[in-house]
Structure 1
């Protein structure tokens, strides 16, 4: 009896047992290789971050690396398990059918959550925005205070906090990526010479860019790009330049202050509404 069991076991080890061992070793090697590739991906993502965003890039890389590792490990382990069960003459079709039905039920019930997570994964993977960036999602604009796989947290200019599911972020505008545009519109009276006014404005832009406080902020000095409008009382000129991210608002305020001061010195008139009040004469 013992000899018969030993012989049967030996026959199984030479056939199915060897295939089971091969499956286990192959799965382990595949998981190891995938983890190595994931580590290279994490390092690549960390290198892409720089300056103030370095820690944020590292944090995102670790988060994504953990997700990728876990997902791929589960997939490889499940496939290996199905192959091993076949070697024990266990029918796997009912198991796969049951797993498929359960997956459909879970996916249908958590459809919104799955959409949020998938979209959040690609937001993190593509580095669409960082914590501290100012972005605009549909009609909501504000500073990013938090990002995870499920939602993005924005704080608008009024201090209100918006929790936006990542699945709803189909289009996003990053207002502070790489550089920010500096745009200032200046209205002058019709009697002023446009060429002279443009020369004064360009000089103000150059002086701002060379100022010690703003030379590291202004990437391209603001210059006049042309006349953009003729209104009832003024001619409107537009100045455009480039500044470091999120510095456009403060720099624009300083530029307007300098324009007003320079115009006063040069006698250039900035038009303003006039109102004439006529009082009826009193009857004696």
Structure 2
């Protein structure tokens, strides 16, 4: 696991955007796994800037979003498809028919929807780079504590902590789902590369558990310690409780030299 600590949230977004640019320019038909929430918004602004500056094109890119609320269709302003259209897809040249979400409406079988999503990912050649956020309770996607490390795309009941954290995004008396479809932990681990982004002091405890805590289903993000190509990119606030921080700062400098010399994403063809 490589840990990179940036001065600001803007610097985090810039660093991740440049990784994505490098990937797509290396493999124009790359498949990206994308995340929603407040953390990636700055990243998506950076990607739009790169696109507007003709530094990257998304014409041949395929995307799979991590999750979607249960029983909310793509036109609903609370849906993650609506979010992605608003903050990224409407402002770049992506083919939206190649932008996928695990949408499951009432009356549809979540098991079948999950299986279909898995098949779509496989048919796309797998995910080259998965972008993750980090929940304050250690969840990745909507894989809440106690989620199986072998899980695939499925429906999950959200913890009260997650519902409370997300309630700021809903108006008073507005319907807020307590279930969601999400890529499973096994699905996430099948990505060739993973970049996890965390910013803000409120994520510092979860970040420390992710990097140096015990690997346990009580802390789903901890399983990323077992993935061979994970980069964790933090701002200073999110890194404030990381143990052995001097080592990570020095290692990031040395790794950057090697990456500039030999390139990134060596396993992609």
Superposition TM-score tier, normalisation by shorter sequence: under 0.3
User: RCO higher in 1 or 2 (8 Å CA, sep ≥ 6)?
Assistant: 2
Return the TM-score normalized by structure 1.
0.20
Q: Which has the larger radius of gyration?
A: 1
Query: Hey, which of these two has a bigger chunk of helix by percent?
Result: 1
